[in-house]
Structure 1
Amino acid sequence: MGASFYEQVGGRPFFEKLVTEFYRGVAGDPVLKPMYPEEDLGPAAARLTGFLEQYWGGPGTYSEQRGHPRLRQRHQPFKVNPDARDRWLLHMRAAVDSAELPELQRTVLWDYLERAAHAMLNTFDD
């Protein structure tokens, strides 16, 4: 069996860098930043890193610490409208582009992130 996507992209260091870049954008975003309960984005970054590395074939630490991901349920308290989704995708796109992955891995990762972002929509209200 071939290497997992997690191994192909370089394991935890890759996902830590991706998430750090993503939250650099979120920190300055007037719509997204207020959705994060902690003043410091560090806990959110740790959760996203753990989730992504588990999803892509890395250690199962996320589920050990937090249980089933239940992404839609965890995002329900927040107003995830098309503007919030598009802003999330904008910051994640910048993070993915900064990672300089080979085309195949970039496409696979981006396709997943785009589908996930669309699945989190829970309102069309402003």
Structure 2
Amino acid sequence: MRTLYEHAGGQEGLHRFLDVFYGSLLADPLLQPLFGEGQSTHVDHLTAFTAETFGGPDTFTREMGGFAHLIDVHRHLAITEEQRRRFVELYMAAADAAKLPDDAPFRQALLEHVEFGTQVAMQNSRAETDDELHPLREVPHWDWPAATS
């Protein structure tokens, strides 16, 4: 079976999707404060992270600071549940806008991935100490939902 990375269109498909998504984050009044004025490298980092998570190249870990970098950038953001839910909503809307595959197994994997990731990010954003961080310390590897593998 193809990886989620391949099914999404590889690097090109994910970059297109995450470029649309990031634009929606910067335009959203609830989420824009978390992203400041935007970083020119954010889409590339998010693409590399998602690619690695979905079975693509490990560029994020090898060249972009890996999971430790994600922990650092989320620390002290104090992400709210409302912001987390909005992030998920915009993520899934961007998948439609970018014309990612819309088959149910892929969309279920995409939703589970972003739900899990936003829970981890929210916990890490509120951690006052290292002991309060989510225990995940490396890029997770995501796969098809159990019913389709």
- TM bracket (short chain): 0.7 to 0.9
Count of residues paired in the alignment = 121
The C-alpha deviation readout for 1:72-119, integer Å capped at 9, x for no partner, is: 443113121112112211211211233341221111111111121122
Looking at structure 2, the residues matched to 100 and 6 of structure 1 have their Cα atoms a distance apart, in angstroms, of 11
The equivalences for 1:16-95 within 5 A come to 16-37=15-36, 39-70=37-68, 71-95=70-94
Partner Cα distance (1:77, 1:28) in 2:
22
TM-score (norm 2): 0.71
- Matched residues, percent identical? 24
Name 2:113's counterpart in structure 1.
Answer: 112
Moved more, 20-29 or 49-58: 20-29
Residue type matched to 1:21 in 2?
V
SS in 1 for 2:122: coil
How many Å separate the matches in 2 of 1:97 and 1:30? Answer: 21
Q: Which moved more, 1:39-48 or 1:68-77?
A: 68-77
Partners of 1:17 and 1:107 lie apart in 2 by 20
> Secondary structure of 1:57's partner?
coil
Q: Please, which runs of 5 or more residues in structure 2 have no aligned partner?
A: 127-149
Which stretches of structure 1, 4 residues or longer, exceed 4 Å deviation after superposition? none
Cα separation, 1, equivalents of 2:40 and 2:32: 12
Distance of 2:27 and 2:39 partners within structure 1: 11
Distance 1:12 1:48 in 2: 11
The CA distance in 2 between the partners of 1:11 and 1:55, in whole Å, is 12
Conserved in 2, the CA contact under 8 Å of 1:85 and 1:117?
yes
Determine if contact 1:27/1:41 at 8 Å carries over to the other structure: no
User: Whole-Å Cα distance in 2 between the matches of residues 97 and 111 of structure 1?
Assistant: 16
In structure 1, the gaps of 5 or more residues are none
TM-score normalised by length of structure 1: 0.82
Q: Superposition RMSD on alpha carbons, in Å?
A: 1.9
Question: Within 1, Cα distance between the matches of 2:118 and 2:13?
Answer: 20
